[in-house]
Structure 1
């Protein structure tokens, strides 16, 4: 029942509280322990807001441990309550409350997801690291029996310090056989990617680096 606080990477207090339980991972099981040591992978009960890249420390500590921040979302989609005439014909999980609870539960374990509730309370903005991540979530919810409508993916834009809108850019590294490199370059160019490097990687293969 130890008192601790949580600091973000800038030293700001995220929350304070007491650790009510420590669970260590032992294979696929979780076992309660009294002390967590260096190298242990543990779950802590008693705190709600602390997450990846935060520092859990004694209340007297003021300086956080330097950590790599989580990459911000690049794509967002709207998850909307299905209000079509055929709503409810394939499942009974159709209400906004059920969808909301499921999305926020997913965000607890998937720290790269960002969930925002729209003003109308019948739709939610779900942002992630790419279309693949969001499509996996949609398919998982479908298999669990949820009925939802979704919008087209939209790129998440952010403003820099000068107030100019910035589009997210990823570095893509592809190792490919030389004979197939032309097709890869063509496909990446169709997606408006910019090739910044092409060099041999050994064994008749090329390493292609793009900004996309």
Structure 2
């Protein structure tokens, strides 16, 4: 870390320590002044980094006692914005990806509104079937502006688009908004999932942001209901 360490970099460093078990749920986090000295920044910068971790549900503040790693609801946590492949592998499962569609298309009115772009702006449109432990588990339809996600290729869609974005493009995925509903499987989805038409699927519609506030993804993902799990944190303000 440099003496100009940004709160986003510090947030990532502390988060990694939590996920790796360096900071456990039985341990109080170092104080703001101690962390500020380590990272060469102000205590305000440390507070901003910890604020993100509190919002994500990884850290809880106890008045008069300090900050602690929050005890998870279950034994395994799903780091949603790390991407499907990274999460599945971290859970000890196998994953295969079948790319059904990879093309560049102009934004229609609906997608343009979600991505905050102009109608007819060119977008990558990817449709992928995710096969987890041999079972067709989710089908993703994704749109990304070619002006932001430069050089995306089919080979990246066959592997991990999020890995390409973070490791190759050097962009930082920050946050998302999502809406979760239950829908009936159409003939197309029933065929791809190997289920009966009309069976329930969990539909996740999502808009994803980079750390500069830019929207880089709009997606609709259908999940088999029996394998879908989602956890979040709520705060009273």
Please state which structure has a larger fraction of its residues in helix: 2
| TM-score for both structures, normalised by structure 2 | 0.26
Please state which structure has a larger fraction of its residues in strand: 1
